[in-house]
Amino acid sequence: MKFPDRFFITGTDTNVGKTVVSALLTQGLNATYWKPIQSGRDPLTDTEYIRQVTDLDESHFLQERFCLTAPLSPHAAAALDGVDIALSDFELPTAIAPPLIVEGAGGLMVPLNQQDLMLDLIKYLDLPVCLVARSSLGTINHTLLSLAQLRRANIPILGVILNGTKNPGNREAIAHYGQVAILGELEPLAAINPNTLRTAFQQMFEI
């Protein structure tokens, strides 16, 4: 799999593992990571967590545009902080070595403000998407709905990465009904650190 110079990682839902997948790809591709909107820290921000588990130096990480206090949807967390989020607040950095991995907050239909969704931010940044989905029960519906939204918005889809214990039936159904490439499957890791992430990346992409 050859990844583009810049791409966006989103998930079918919250807590589907997109930050762990982002860590795996940041480590494996020696990439730069950017989380434009961070809602809450538990106890670390996603940027801090990925830096910790990859052990990459600070040059691989860009500062969040918004770092909101509450672990809520961006529109709700921003309201609590008295912050207004607009698409024009975001600009892709140019003076960095590729690849650049941009991770969203929540799923595609999470609101940023009164009119824009995470989907609109992806469209605004003009990035192709890697969709992270859980492997377990319920994933077919969530994944097909997410793929449909991406296609409705004419956003290029790189493929799907399934996170969790392998489920061949769900993998086959998503590939068939979603007409999408399954880029890989990330099984639960006993520990998350540079070595396990590097090994999982190599196994996933047969490098």
Tokens of 61: 């990480």
Query: Residue 168's CB: how many other CB atoms inside 10 A?
Result: 9
Marked catalytic residue, from 2, 35, 123, 166: 35
- Return d(Cα 167, Cα 39) in angstroms, integer: 31
Helix (H) or strand (E) holding 148: helix 139-152
Residue partners of 73: CB distance under 8 A and separation at least 6: 39, 105, 106, 110, 111
166 in active site: no
Neighbour-count burial for 124-157, b at 16+ CB within 10 Å, e otherwise: ebebbbbbbbbbeeebbebbbebbebbeeeebeb
Rounded to 5°, angle at Cα 83 from 80 and 86:
130
Q: Which residues are marked as active site?
A: 35
